[in-house]
Chains A and B, each alone.
Chain A
């Protein structure tokens, strides 16, 4: 067996141990560096490099060479060629080349009943043409746009899949697929691109019955989106980034957010998937709710109290995150490594923990790469049980 294959076997084992609640040989390192950060680190221009799929391998190879990881370390989701072809209003290329998500309204307030009656029809007939200018066209133009967009989507994910497999074999990364799909929580789905942050906040107060019915109506779509076509193997996960809870009152969260979200998570867990939940912002006041989810969900925390999280959900679920990316930007190498030691002392005992930052560094300006390397190297080589 080659060195890389041996390494992959060991890494697969420690990740499998963590995800199944066993204490692994050491704390796995599963960082998720954005492609935008990676492009800039590799010395390419963010305004031009993402347009060429051939750059993906060059960029990722450089990251794999320079940054410690137990699992393929780059994530890439926003493709400028796709959004430009569609005439997107919800994903816009900024002046520096970074994809920005502005506030949008794909569904007007008087269209709730259409969404409730038939969500997928409403998406195809109303929401998509409103979010994507080039789909708001005559049938011929629209069909040509959709064909081009689907081709781009398939090419981009085809490239990502092929390069991930090739570099995982080269560098001995774990055999795992933690991001097979990224279904939203049903409430976030309605909030993010249908109604927008401002509108949904008003709707929750003015027309909660409509919001509740809409959230229930879209739930089957999100379950379908995350379910695998066949029996999932070990280390297979779906990624659910949560957006709105920190901005909701507890009574609204309990009525409008939690029931459908927990239904989705329970369905995925029953199907054998690991549910990787990104707890954006501070979710500490909802910890008791998350403690009720099926065992071995991964809770990726951005902010909050790691000791409280370990105490309340750390015996049932897997914890990651909490490491502040801002420190990687402002701190010295020594301060950054000390912070990793502090979190390991709190979160590693008893297992059910892997190392990741509180969020993905977005661009080279958001974190000093030398600090990232120092922290990942430290954890990768010193966090043994």
Chain B
């Protein structure tokens, strides 16, 4: 299994081969994302009102998947950075840099939609509880990561510094995930993580899972598009003599 993964990883370590694969995957991935999103929105439109939250429960179908993607996005950046820094995979930095704005947008979306749900449900836009604060810190880590890439002109140094920040910043991911268990928070604990016995009724659970799948495929489609752009930019930088495409 590990050997097979190594072989696949080595096969697509070459950016030219990766671009060939990305060109093949590009359209099917976007078609799947749009299809899942359309089906998810159709299911959400037919969800009954919740007995406590009323129609406001519909905000959950964008808030929860966006929050999942904020954590998934950072985990993606972490593993890509580890692959680049430790295993010297040439596409590691490309993948990490491409995913950063996508993860940041999903984190911002989770914060804004959470706030829009909090006002009618909790009576406040914001509270400094552990979950909300740790997600805000996650957004700042994303922004810091993006800013670090922009701040250093030399691509190899920028990639190394950004990777170290990404790896150190990963400490915040379990804090976000378990903040509702470790501290007494206004934010409710996880309702879907116990798949064997989820706290949600099937009427809400399946549309939520479909929207989660749609956001995941959308994340991958946007990241793949941005990875292609990053590879092309590296080629341009390499031609301009500003840094080797083979290294970053």
Q: Do A and B bind each other?
A: no
Q: Which residues of A contact B (CB under 8 A)?
A: none
Q: Which residues of B contact A (CB under 8 A)?
A: none
